[in-house]
Structure formats: C-alpha cells, structure tokens
Amino acid sequence: MRHNFVNDIGDYAKYALLRALADNGEVPVRLGVIWYLTDHAEQASNGRKRAHLTQDGWDSLDPHLLATMRLIEASVPDARGLSIRLIENSGILPPGTVYFSEPLPSRQGNTRQRVADRVAWFERVRRAVEGCDLVFLDPDNGLEVASVPLSSPMAVKYASFFELKQLLDAHGAVVVYQHGDRTPWPAQRAKVIRQVTAAAERPLEIRSLRLGAFGARAFFCITDRPELAHVVDAALLRLKQRAARWDKGAYLLLE
C-alpha cells in the first residue's frame, strides 16, 4: 500500500468486499487492516486508476462507498494530499476497525538487519490486531515470490507466507491482496491456493474476488472456520447479485 494509491479503482473493490464481509447481519466481525505501507519515495504513478471517481456507471457495486470515495478525492488538491489517514477517518469501514499504519522497515542496512527489522515490525502487527476476527493484508504486490526473500530490499512489497500463517492461526479469517501477473487467471488463482494451503498446513476454505478493470487485482478470502466461510460466501453472493445488475459487472469475477 502507498499513500499516493489511495482511492484508486482497486480500492473500490477492496472496500466493497470488506464492507460486505463486516456487514453480514449474522456473525459479528471485527476487522483489522494491515496496510503493509511502503512509505518510501515512488517515481512511477502508472498504478493510479480513477475512472470510477469521474465517470458514470460505477455506482452499483456500493453506491455509498463510491460517494464517500468521491468526497475524499474532492477534499485533497492533488495526489500529494492523499493518505491512508483519509480512509481511516472516513467511516468507510465499520466503527471498531483496527488499522496498523506503521510503515514497513526501510530497505537500508544489511540482510541480517532487514530481516530483524521485518520480524520486529510483524510482532507489532500481531499485537495491534489482537481481538480481530478478520484481518486484511494490503501489500503492494501481494504474497511473496521465490525470487524475493525476506532479506531482499524488495521484500517490502510482499506479505510473507509465514506472516499469513501466523495471522490465520491467531484469527478466524484473512483477506489478502494479490496483484495480477501475466499468467492466465485460472493458473494464478490455482497457484495461490496451493501455496496458501501448503503454508497453513491444513485444509482451508479459499474464495477470491478479481477486478479486471484497468489491470488485474484480486483479493483472496481465507479461513478454516465454517461460520466464517459462510460469511465469506454470503458476502460474495451479495456482491455477485449487485454485479449482475451492473453494466460493468463483467469486470468482476467471484469464485
């Protein structure tokens, strides 16, 4: 997550999903949001896609959410004013949502120092989200890849499988962001499911939401608790029903 990407089109799908999970009408769900904030300078801005904020036809997925996102956008003069604090203070997510906003450790230092700093950061994460039923992980790129170990300067862009397992062990459910790669979506989805299941070392219920507008972004909902699997399925069904009446519904794939 980066401050300058706040309010992009991926956020529309992200918050629509989290709102549907929390507002399920059956099982109380307290959310924990782990931003995986990369607070270093970024030169590229090609990830910022904002058609939903200025064009008609995007409302149907979650009209109240989109109206709030548009108000946030109108409140800042330019991208330099964007911040995750705008989301935290907006009421987009339910009262009681816990946010962990500490940036990931700097890329500087030797490999041993980077690993030690990351481990210490994650311990603070764990303490911050105690008491949450569902935690959302929002790394820049998604889950770790073999070419980027935890000791790498680029590890700040990924959530590790170890971190995911620790959070899944401690909480009822985890939702994690995954950026689309160049492989066909069915193959990418199957690979993520295999990797997450292997890391968790137990059977899991895993569902996904993929938004294919202006790039590919996916969110994996992971749990081993039947009551929360039911919550996930019901939330995805509600979103699927909204998408069926939405002229842009073809962008959304729920599995």
Nearest CA-CA partner of 229 in 204, 254, 209, 252: 204
Digit-coded pLDDT (tens) for 112-155: 899 999 999 999 999 999 999 999 999 999 999 999 998 898 99
Domains within the chain, CATH numbers bracketed: 3-254 (3.40.50)
Task: Indicate if the pLDDT at residue 218 is higher than 90.
Answer: yes
Is residue 53 over pLDDT 90?
no
Half-sphere exposure of 243 (CA within 13 A, CB side): 19
pLDDT(35) > 80: yes
Q: Please, what is the average pLDDT of the chain?
A: 90
Res 47 pLDDT > 60: no
Can you tell me the distance from the alpha carbon of 157 to that of 141, in angstroms, rounded to the nearest whole number? 5
Q: Pick the more confident residue, 122 or 38.
A: 122
User: CA angle, corner 243, sides to 227 and 212, nearest 5?
Assistant: 95
Q: What angle do CA 11, 20, 103 make, to 5 degrees?
A: 40
For residue 42, the model assigns a pLDDT of 52
Q: Which pLDDT band holds residue 41 (cuts at 50, 70, 90)?
A: low
Res. 97 pLDDT band, cuts 50 70 90: very high
- Label residue 44 by pLDDT band (50, 70, 90): very low
